[in-house]
Amino acid sequence: MRIVIFGAGAIGGLFGAHLVGKHEVTLVCREKHAQVIQKNGLRITGLSDIHASPRAVSSVEGLEQPDILIITVKAYDTEQAARDMQPLIGQHTKVLSLQNGLGNLETIGRIVPESNIIGGITSQGAILHEPGMIEHTGRSYTIVDDQAIAAMFTEAGIETRYSEDIQAEIWYKAIVNCVINPLGTLMKDKNGLLLRDQSFGPLAREIVGEGVEVANARGILLDFDIAWNRTVQVATDTSENICSMRKDFEAGKRTEIEQMNGAIAGYGAELGIPTPVNSLLSSLISA
């Protein structure tokens, strides 16, 4: 398969390194990252030990249309990414979003034919320490709504399952992130804060409850207990990790808060559903 990964930072590079053994993989990434990979290859350490040599470029110019185009840019860059990658999308190109947050598929769908779009999520953890060097920090689930892609990822060493209701999966993951990311960022703590300090339990349950209510009102049927259990499970599995939002915040970078708690607050306002906790967290992180 010819695969292009657009916005190939930590997660995109992790997937690319696993896939390159059996597929023709091109990473579209920042120029310095691309230069180092071209010269020295891509090194994955931590839970994976891989030295791969994918093609790496900083522009889509001159690239052939791939069979699969994987998007791993930050959620706030989705619209621009969709426009930039338009020349790569052929009639049969599958466009897979493996991004955080809510609204990415809808944003892509305004630019790319909906028949080409595949939804997906991943909770794999990875950190880009320096150009050409990625640490695989967390091995967790990946879910897509395409059986062939699920099988391809699993064969490449990234266990992936197929779901017929990917929107529900996207919302469940977003709600988990709406708890773990802003709390970890505001408290300057790790993902296990919720487990170590039980006083955060009621607040976390309010975040989850608002998200579930808004999703159900939008016709995406979620169950509170499932959402809560997943939140606790992720906090347990990644208890010693620092969330991506805190890393972005402390590095002076833009966060994805508007595509997480901010999105739930925005959808709630449209539907007349109060979301005071998600609204407050969005305002605090933005401020």
- Give the catalytic positions in this structure: 173
Strands 2-6 and 24-28: parallel
Distance CA(259)–CA(266), nearest Å, equals 10
Q: Please state, in angstroms and rounded to a whole number, the distance separating the CA atoms of residues 282 and 278.
A: 6
DSSP per-residue codes, 189-212: --TTHHHH-GGGHHHHHHHHHHHH
The H-assigned helical ranges of 197-273 are: 201-217, 224-237, 244-250, 261-271
Give Rg (Cα) of the chain: 18
Per-residue burial over 7-35, b if 16 or more Cβ lie within 10 Å, else e, is bbbbbbbbbbbbbbeebebbbbbeeebbe
Contact between 1 and 24 under an 8 Å Cβ cutoff? The reply is yes
Segments in the chain forming alpha helices (H): 10-19, 31-40, 78-84, 104-109, 147-155, 166-186, 193-196, 201-217, 224-237, 244-250, 261-271, 276-286
Q: Helices in 5-46 by DSSP H: which ranges? A: 10-19, 31-40
63 DSSP assignment: P
